[in-house]
Structure 1
Amino acid sequence: AIGYKLYKGLVEREIKREMKRKQKELKKKK
C-alpha cells in the first residue's frame, strides 16, 4: 500500500508540473 501511495504522489506531482508548463505555453501564445 505504501508503494502505491508513493507512486500516486509522484504522478500527481508530475501532472502539476505539466499543467504549470502548459500554462506558461498559453501565456507565451498570448
Structure 2
Amino acid sequence: MPKCDYCGAEVYLPYKCKYCGGIFCAEHHLP
C-alpha cells in the first residue's frame, strides 16, 4: 500500500502530485 510522502501514513486512495510526482494522503494532498 502506498504511503504519504508527508506524514508516512498508509493511504488506500493516494493523491499523486502532478507537479512533484509525490504521493500524499487526503489530509496533505493540498500544498
Provide the TM-score with structure 1 as the length reference.
0.16
**Largest Rg, 1 or 2:** 1
Report 1 or 2 for greater relative contact order, CA contacts < 8 Å, sequence distance ≥ 6.
2
Provide the TM-score with structure 2 as the length reference.
0.16
> Which structure: greater strand fraction?
2
